[in-house]
Amino acid sequence: MKKIGMKSIVTAFIMSIILAGCGGSSGDSASNYPEESVKIIVPFAAGGGATTTARTISEYAEDHVGESLVIENREGGGGSAGQQYVASADNDGYTLLLITGSAVTNPIFNKTSFTYEDFEPVIQLVSDVSYLYVNADAPYDDLESFAEYAKDNPGEVTISTSGAQASDHYAALEIIEELGLDAEAIPYDGESQAIASTSGGHDEATIGNFAAAEGQVQSGNLKPLVVLGDEQTDVYPDVPTSIEEGLEVTEASWRGIAAPKGTPSEIIEHLHEAFKKGFDDEDYQNQMSDLGMDTEYKGPEDFQDRVVEYYERMSQATE
Amino acid sequence: MQMWFEAIVNVFSFSILITILFGTIFGILMGSLPGLSSTMAVAIIIPFTFSMEPAAGIILLSSIYCASVFGGSISAILLNTPGTPAGAATVIDGYELTKQGKSGKALGISAVASGLGGVISAIILSFTAPILAEQALRFGAPEYFALAIFGISVVSSLGGINPIKGLIAGTFGILIATVGMDPIDGYPRFTFGSPFLATGFSLIPVLIGLFSASQAFHLIKKSEKGKETKDSEDVKGQVLPSIKEVTKILPNIFRSSIIGTFIGIIPGIGGDPAAFISYNEAKRWSKHPERFGKGELGGVAAPEAANNAVTGGALIPLLTLGIPGNTVTAILIGGLLIHGLRPGPMLFQEHGDVVYSLFFSLIITNLLFLIIGVSCAKYFSTILKVPAQIMGPIILILSIVGSFAIHNDYFDIWVMLAFGIIGYIFKLINVPVTPIVLAIILAPIAEQSLRQSLLQGDNFAYIITRPIAFVFLLLAVITFFTPFVRDYLRNRKIKSS
């Protein structure tokens, strides 16, 4: 019996040594950064525009960062679970956030233990305008008849959104309020579920961007009603803007990379340069445009300004 | 069609073929060792697929899955102990053949039947899943709710003789699933202010704990007692079945594969009933039913074709709706999600390349283990001689490393160990752990879709009046209460006699 016990211990010991050998050593000084792989937390379920943004930029920025970039989806609570995780992570540059508007809105609407000020913006990558899509079989083709339909059928119309505290959910609520509809906004677990539900005719409308919804437009399940912005887009040249239609609701999802507050400025600078190089790569730009995402660069300071501006707009919206 | 060409090109790359080869060999090894299930084999490898390409990662996992089911027949035939629960029906005629000195022939037939069963189901999968995926848009929140409830309703039949045990485990799973933020309002529940619990328990550490670590504890305990597992006999007799033998059992293999695929589609049922049902059907259709149980080749072919056919069937609801058919596919969801692949109707549109590569790789895997099975059968008895005191620690350490690797969080290791202990205790008191997993996966889907349905329709009648939802809810009620009714009838019979 003793002998058998020894065998177990020896096997365990050998295995631990082999496996320990696989890991690298870790240092903590900013000057040696990075010495191990860098995690980018995407605070939403896999399969949406945020995940795609993170994966695409990682592909092109990885070589410039100097270590592998690992994308991790930590969904829950409309993004606040993953944002909370990054806000409380070590500010050593090894845990980053794929930051979206929800990192600003979640603290406004919920009792989160973080605010948007807990993140240091590194770079803005995308500013993606959203559209109001409706089921392709619906009897309305423009915003006016949609609003009419909703008024004739009170309580019938539902708008699917990507999450309870996502900015598209607030845009849906704003649309309902502006147009004076008796309708509901229903949160799903990520935009692909929200889009699938409206494509299947279970909800009447959805708010989404081109990249996420175009597949269903091609399959003949969805049609775009309005651009939620002030400029018409190349992809849908016939679709009017919400401003033209007299609807004062705009929705563009900006996405970028942020680090926890207090991350050393050398690390922010290193990351910003690396991501900028990836951003300027022609292949990256082409791939993003194939994906239907509008790239828009902002450096750390400009990006910070945009975040603050968004905070001001959204905190007014709730008053 | 273009998708298929792309898939073939993808799969016939060196790295993917090596991945399939590794997965197949690893799967056969894990499946053949008694006590190491397919679920465990897949759970333990998931963290290592993290850094792989999405297609390669999911192909690795599914090739392990398919090959481990075949592996289960090896110990069933040579040791009279099934390597995986799905191999239980193979024991009947398989071990009989071993006693007659024909273990080689039994292994050969098992390899051929398993391989063909797997190929047939992979073909059914690749042709039906894309069609079903288009239909999947018909599934709105009420349908997802009904389907999730149907999946959960199986828990009462997973408790073995005692449905209450399945129910206890299922309820425990639902409780675990409530930890974290609520899906509609984002309100944190049972997190005790800990950021680690804000997203709930991470699925994969929980699964590794329940299936791998708990098994490691058992193996370590077993070796402590000094109880040696019985030694396997060497493989005897010719392995390669003759053309005549194969053609004779082809109808049997075909029938069993169809049965297996369809049983695989139904959430929660899995490989073991499929194997037994096919065995009984093979016996019923045979011209010589009296030969079954006495070393009939058809008695090995039927359950083996069926349990491997379950693999393709179980992937159908997983890929089209995101609803897992059994524990292995529940774990595969985790494997897909870490690569940004969300199972469901959109998967075929957004990641058609990965899906079709997966289909094609399944066919390759099944053919590959057929070849390995026939050509290497002579060496299988050696695998079974690995003592428990070596296996236990290896599995435990892989479990720890694997749980840590997913999020690089020490917290996940504690979660894994805690669930390992829970799994160990559940096994000691004979309560199945499968219902826990089903509930952990399906309860959040049920909760979120119920609340969405109620926002869409204001009351429960909205759900009941939708035909697809109604049918699934009805099936759920029937599935849930059948074991209780069966129990009641049996007790009454015992009393009256």
Q: What is the DSSP string of A186-242?
A: EE-SSHHHHHHHHHTTSSSEEEEEHHHHHHHHHTTSEEEEEESSSS--SSSTTPPBT
What tens digit of pLDDT does each residue of B187-219 get? 778 888 776 777 788 887 888 898 888 888 988
Average pLDDT of span B410-436: 91
> Which of helix, strand or coil describes residue A255?
strand
B198: nearest CB among A4, A11, A84: A84
Domain boundaries, position B483: 2-496
**Partner A contacted by B350 (CB < 8 A):** yes
Residue B485 has pLDDT above 50, yes or no: yes
Residues of chain A positioned with their CB less than 8 A from the CB of B397: 12, 15-16, 19
B199: nearest CB among A76, A110, A165: A76
Residue B252 has pLDDT above 90, yes or no: yes
B341: nearest CB among A46, A190, A197: A46
A183: its two tokens: 């309708």
Average pLDDT of span B269-278: 78
Of A1, A2, A8, which to mutate for an interface test with B (greatest number of B Cβ within 10 Å)? Answer: A8
Cα(A108)–Cα(B293) distance, integer angstroms: 69
B198: nearest CB among A77, A155, A192: A77
B369: its two tokens: 């283990």
Note the pLDDT of residue B160. Answer: 67
**Partner A contacted by B449 (CB < 8 A):** no
Q: How far is CA A88 from CA A239, A261, B63, B134, in A?
A: 43, 9, 39, 42
Note the pLDDT of residue A211. Answer: 78
Q: How far is CA B203 from CA A43, B58, B173, B323, B436, in A?
A: 16, 17, 11, 15, 11
Q: What percent of chain A has pLDDT over 70?
A: 87
- For chain B, the domain total comes to 1
Residue A27 has pLDDT above 50, yes or no: no
What tens digit of pLDDT does each residue of A196-221 get? 899 999 999 999 988 788 888 988 99
Of B224, B408, B413, B442, which to mutate for an interface test with A (greatest number of A Cβ within 10 Å)? Answer: B408
- Amino acid, res. A83: Q
- Within 8 A by CB and 6+ apart from A23, the residues are none
Name the region of B117 (left: φ>0; alpha: ψ -120 to 50; beta: rest): alpha
Phi/psi at A305 (5° precision)? -60, -40
Residue A77 has pLDDT above 70, yes or no: no
Residue A1 has pLDDT above 50, yes or no: no
Asked if omega into A237 is within 30° of 0 (cis), the reply is no
Of B51, B190, B217, B397, which to mutate for an interface test with A (greatest number of A Cβ within 10 Å)? Answer: B397
Kind and range of the H or E run holding A158: strand A158-161
- Residue B162: pLDDT band with limits 50, 70, 90: confident
Q: What's the predicted TM-score (pTM) here? A: 0.78
Instruction: State whether ipTM is beyond 0.85.
Output: no
Average pLDDT of span A167-177: 89
Min distance A72 CA to chain B CA atoms (Å): 7
CB A158 to CB B137 under 8 A? no
Q: A33-127+253-317 — its CATH code?
A: 3.40.190.150
- Within 8 A by CB and 6+ apart from B317, the residues are B265, B267, B323, B324, B325, B329
- Residue B276: pLDDT band with limits 50, 70, 90: confident
B64: its two tokens: 């392990």
Kind and range of the H or E run holding A280: helix A265-280
Q: How far is CA B193 from CA A88, A97, B7, B399, B413, in A?
A: 12, 21, 47, 27, 19
Least confident of A65-74, B3-12, B401-410: B401-410
What tens digit of pLDDT does each residue of A79-133 get? 878 898 899 899 999 999 999 988 988 887 766 778 999 999 999 999 889 999 9
CB A195 to CB B346 under 8 A? yes
B380: its two tokens: 């299988």
CB B397 to CB A74 under 8 A? no
CB B455 to CB A186 under 8 A? yes
DSSP state of B210: I
Size of interface A-B (CB pairs under 8 A): 149
**Where do the DSSP E strands lie in B80-132?**
none
Q: Cite the DSSP H helix spans in A120-209.
A: 143-152, 167-179, 191-199
- Amino acid, res. A1: M
- Residue B327: pLDDT band with limits 50, 70, 90: confident
Give contacts of B 231-260 with A, CB under 8 A: none
Note whether A208 and A168 are within 8 A (CB).
Answer: yes
Min distance A296 CA to chain B CA atoms (Å): 23
Residues of chain B positioned with their CB less than 8 A from the CB of A165: 186
Cα(B128)–Cα(B115) distance, integer angstroms: 20
Would you give the distance in Å from CA B453 to the centre of its chain?
A: 30
Give contacts of B 305-334 with A, CB under 8 A: none
CB B389 to CB A82 under 8 A? no
Average pLDDT over all residues of chain B: 86
Kind and range of the H or E run holding A133: strand A119-135
Least confident of A2-11, A101-110, B21-30, B386-395: A2-11
> Which of helix, strand or coil describes residue B349?
helix
Residue A67 has pLDDT above 80, yes or no: yes
Residue A185 has pLDDT above 60, yes or no: yes
- Within 8 A by CB and 6+ apart from B497, the residues are none
**Partner A contacted by B205 (CB < 8 A):** no
Cα(B63)–Cα(B312) distance, integer angstroms: 11
**Partner A contacted by B220 (CB < 8 A):** yes
Instruction: Please name the residue of chain A whose CA is at the shortest distance from the CA of residue B220.
Output: A8
Instruction: Please name the residue of chain B whose CA is at the shortest distance from the CA of residue A192.
Output: B346
Average pLDDT of span B398-403: 84
Min distance B138 CA to chain A CA atoms (Å): 5
- Within 8 A by CB and 6+ apart from B141, the residues are A186, A197, A202, B448, B449, B450, B452, B453, B456
CA contacts within 13 A on the Cβ side of B436: 21
A164: nearest CB among B185, B393, B407: B185
B344: nearest CB among A78, A184, A196: A196
Cα(B263)–Cα(B460) distance, integer angstroms: 30
Task: Pick from A156-165, A285-294, B167-176, B215-224 the range whose average pLDDT is largest.
Answer: B167-176
Min distance B432 CA to chain A CA atoms (Å): 28
Q: Where are the domains of chain A?
A: 33-127+253-317, 129-227
Task: Pick from B122-136, B149-163, B381-395 the range whose average pLDDT is largest.
Answer: B122-136
Topology of domain A129-227, CATH: D-Maltodextrin-Binding Protein; domain 2 (3.40.190)
